[in-house]
């Protein structure tokens, strides 16, 4: 006897209409999710995960999308091809969705209480405003937010609290199916753990079936009963999570599982990728301990950075009394949750932000005033370069790769156009691209390729310090592994010093020699990698490590 299905998908095929003709995004996908079960849809960007989630709620543009197959919620009507009136009754009541970016999913003009109450009244039109407000307050309390904050707007809340609001909106009508599309990707480790624990608690309490869409194998391991692996719109493998994580049959699944570093991954080792599932050991891999320092390259002494408050509000202290240094040839990992001051320190070291107090030195020179001194800022930019978190936002979409990569050369060297082009080719080859990519624009590349272009641009003038601000947090695990392997190769080949900023402790342990931990703008712990991870002294560091999935 077959078990009941809260969500039943059969032979689902989704095709997008484009100027170049139809493009199949999903091909013949079939699966079931039972009441109370969590099924993880796993795969890289472009594998069709979100397409399936959107199709389940009929959220695709019918004028540009063709959907075939069958989607049913329990014993409900067929949703593929159903009229909008049917889909409106289903959305939010029978099935609800939690999106990746909570700030985009919430209206900035309305209070969070009003938005949750509206989601309730849509499906309970006879309920009065008072009842809806009471229901909204109860849902806020249920997700761990005081009901008194119902009058707050989304921008008043942290990222984790906004995601809790989105979860409250999704569950306010007690749906049978919850579709969670990368619900914790943009969150810090502790907040991610809190949100996942909350979803699991609520889902278990209500018996809701959940379709969890993610590329994070750690999230799947912590939350899912079964997983379905997708690649290029096709299902490769499905089965119990434990079996697929330990003895997957398909090489692609094994590569995805192994690509993400864990706290047990040997530091400095080459990570497997989908293209190279069994990489050879790095010939120049770093030993288990940090290399002997060869002198201080960059240093912060009692750094303080304040942002002015609006009207009569006090200034916001972003960094308070931080002292740390980066030695020549060393990689320092800067760890902390959002708002801890990591990116502010990066901007100060790069000469993009003037400190309020303290001293900033590079190679023995005081650079504290670089942000307001054009000549000093120009000189510093040759020695200090940045690799940003979002490779698409940091690349000019109107410029070709050649123009992007050669811009630092035009500013800092007297090379002619031909020699700049030669240097650009050399840089692209160094990061795993080719001369044929010079004439293309950023939108013609994948996320991993765009990050490689950003790295090539940063290396163009042979800087002595590279500041990598969350350089892999927006990438799929296999692409993340490719970029980390590349950075490790370049570090060994060029003798780079790096300030590596991340909230992913497993990545930091794998990549960095020393670790500095920030909390609320203060330095709570710093030391060699193995010391910080194996015998952390600060309670906050212990909490961060305990939250790693």
Tens digits of residue pLDDT in 135-153: 999 999 988 899 999 999 9
Q: How much is the average pLDDT of 208-214?
A: 93
More confident residue, 534 or 105: 534
Average pLDDT over the chain, rounded to whole? 89
Q: So what's the pLDDT on residue 39?
A: 96
More confident residue, 393 or 82: 82
Instruction: Give, rounded to a whole angstrom, the gap between the first and last alpha carbons of the chain.
Output: 36
Q: So what's the pLDDT on residue 348?
A: 95
- What is the greatest pairwise CA distance in the chain? 77
Q: So what's the pLDDT on residue 288?
A: 42
Question: Does residue 283 register a pLDDT over 70?
Answer: no
| Token output for 94 | 């029978």
Q: So what's the pLDDT on residue 412?
A: 93
Give the separation between CA 443 and CA 430, rounded to whole angstroms.
Answer: 21
Question: Does residue 425 register a pLDDT over 80?
Answer: yes
Q: How many H helices and E strands in the chain?
A: 19, 19
Q: pLDDT by residue (tens digit) across 321-380?
A: 999 999 999 999 999 888 889 989 999 999 999 999 999 999 999 999 999 999 999 999
pLDDT band at 421 (very low <50, low <70, confident <90, very high): very high
Q: Are 547 and 189 in contact (CB under 8 A)?
A: yes
Question: Does residue 549 register a pLDDT over 80?
Answer: no
More confident residue, 292 or 167: 167
Q: pLDDT by residue (tens digit) across 440-470?
A: 999 888 778 888 999 999 999 999 999 999 8
Question: Does residue 287 register a pLDDT over 90?
Answer: no
Q: Are 176 and 95 in contact (CB under 8 A)?
A: yes
| Token output for 382 | 């040759």
Percent of the chain with pLDDT over 70: 96
pLDDT band at 1 (very low <50, low <70, confident <90, very high): very low
pLDDT band at 399 (very low <50, low <70, confident <90, very high): very high
Give the separation between CA 258 and CA 260, rounded to whole angstroms.
Answer: 6
Q: How much is the average pLDDT of 157-178?
A: 89
Question: Does residue 432 register a pLDDT over 50?
Answer: yes
Give the separation between CA 438 and CA 421, rounded to whole angstroms.
Answer: 9
Q: So what's the pLDDT on residue 292?
A: 54
Q: So what's the pLDDT on residue 132?
A: 93
Sign of CA dihedral 344, 350, 356, 360: positive
* Sheet containing strand 465-469, strands side by side: 384-387, 465-469, 497-502, 331-335, 514-519, 522-528
DSSP H/E element including 332 = strand 331-335
Which has the closest alpha carbon to 117: 173, 183, 161?
173
Q: Are 297 and 362 in contact (CB under 8 A)?
A: yes
Q: So what's the pLDDT on residue 447?
A: 78
| Token output for 350 | 């790069």
Q: How much is the average pLDDT of 209-236?
A: 91
Question: Does residue 497 register a pLDDT over 70?
Answer: yes
Q: So what's the pLDDT on residue 480?
A: 86
Q: So what's the pLDDT on residue 362?
A: 95
Give the separation between CA 413 and CA 485, rounded to whole angstroms.
Answer: 29
Q: How much is the average pLDDT of 30-51?
A: 91
Q: Are 184 and 548 in contact (CB under 8 A)?
A: no
91 DSSP assignment: B
pLDDT band at 3 (very low <50, low <70, confident <90, very high): low
Q: Are 410 and 457 in contact (CB under 8 A)?
A: no
Give the separation between CA 104 and CA 99, rounded to whole angstroms.
Answer: 9
User: Read out DSSP for 379-436?
Assistant: HHHHHEEEE-S-TTTTS-TTS-HHHHHHHHHHHH----HHHHHHHHHHHHHHTT--GG
Which has the closest alpha carbon to 297: 351, 236, 245, 362?
362
Q: How much is the average pLDDT of 6-22?
A: 90
Q: So what's the pLDDT on residue 353?
A: 93
């Amino acid at each position: 006897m077959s078990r009941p299905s809260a969500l039943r998908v059969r032979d689902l095929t989704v095709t997008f209409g484009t100027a170049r003709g139809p493009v199949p995004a999903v091909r013949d996908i079939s699966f079931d999710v039972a009441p109370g079960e969590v099924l993880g849809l796993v795969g890289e960007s472009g594998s069709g995960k979100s397409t399936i989630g959107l199709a389940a709620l009929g959220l695709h543009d019918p004028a540009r999308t063709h959907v075939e197959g069958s989607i049913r919620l329990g014993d409900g009507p067929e949703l593929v091809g159903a009229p909008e009136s049917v889909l409106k009754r289903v959305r939010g009541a029978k099935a609800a969705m939690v999106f990746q970016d909570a700030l985009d999913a919430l209206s900035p003009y309305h209070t969070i209480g009003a938005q949750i109450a509206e989601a309730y009244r849509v499906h309970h039109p006879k309920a009065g405003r008072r009842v809806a407000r009471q229901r909204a307050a109860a849902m806020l309390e249920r997700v761990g937010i005081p009901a008194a904050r119902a009058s707050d707007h989304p921008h008043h809340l942290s990222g984790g609290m906004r995601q809790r609001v989105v979860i409250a909106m999704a569950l306010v009508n007690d749906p049978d199916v919850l579709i969670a599309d990368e619900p914790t990707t943009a969150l810090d480790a502790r907040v991610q753990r809190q949100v996942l624990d909350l979803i699991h608690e609520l889902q278990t309490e209500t018996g809701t079936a959940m379709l969890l869409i993610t590329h994070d194998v750690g999230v799947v391991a912590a939350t899912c009963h079964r997983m379905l692996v997708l690649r290029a719109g096709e299902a490769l493998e499905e089965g119990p999570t434990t079996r697929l994580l330990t003895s997957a049959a398909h090489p692609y699944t094994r590569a995805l599982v192994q690509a993400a570093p864990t706290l047990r991954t040997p530091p400095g080792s080459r990570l497997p990728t989908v293209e190279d599932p069994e990489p050879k050991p790095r010939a120049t891999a770093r030993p288990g301990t940090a290399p002997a320092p060869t002198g201080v390259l960059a240093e912060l002494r009692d750094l303080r950075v304040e942002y002015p408050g609006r009207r009569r509000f006090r200034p916001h202290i972003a960094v308070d009394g931080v002292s740390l240094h980066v030695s020549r040839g060393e990689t320092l990992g800067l760890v902390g949750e959002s708002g801890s001051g990591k990116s502010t320190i990066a901007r100060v070291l790069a000469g993009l932000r003037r400190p309020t107090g303290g001293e900033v030195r590079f190679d023995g020179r005081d650079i504290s005033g670089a942000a307001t001194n054009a000549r000093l800022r120009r000189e510093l930019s040759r020695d200090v370069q940045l690799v940003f978190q979002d490779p698409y936002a940091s690349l000019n979409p109107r410029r070709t790769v050649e123009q992007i990569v050669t811009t630092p050369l035009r500013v800092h060297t007297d090379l002619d156009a031909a020699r700049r082009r030669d240097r650009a080719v050399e840089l692209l080859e160094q990061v795993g691209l080719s001369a044929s990519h010079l004439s293309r624009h950023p939108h013609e590349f994948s996320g991993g390729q765009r990050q490689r272009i950003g790295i090539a641009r940063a290396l163009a003038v042979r800087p002595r310090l590279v500041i990598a601000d969350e350089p892999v947090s927006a990438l799929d695990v296999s692409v993340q592994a490719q970029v980390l392997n590349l950075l490790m190769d370049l570090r060994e080949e060029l003798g780079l010093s790096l300030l590596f900023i991340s909230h992913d402790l497993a990545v930091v342990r794998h990549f960095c020699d020393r670790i500095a931990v920030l909390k609320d703008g203060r330095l709570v712990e710093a030391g060699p990698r193995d010391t910080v991870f194996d015998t952390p002294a600060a309670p906050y560091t212990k909490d961060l490590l305990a939250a790693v999935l």
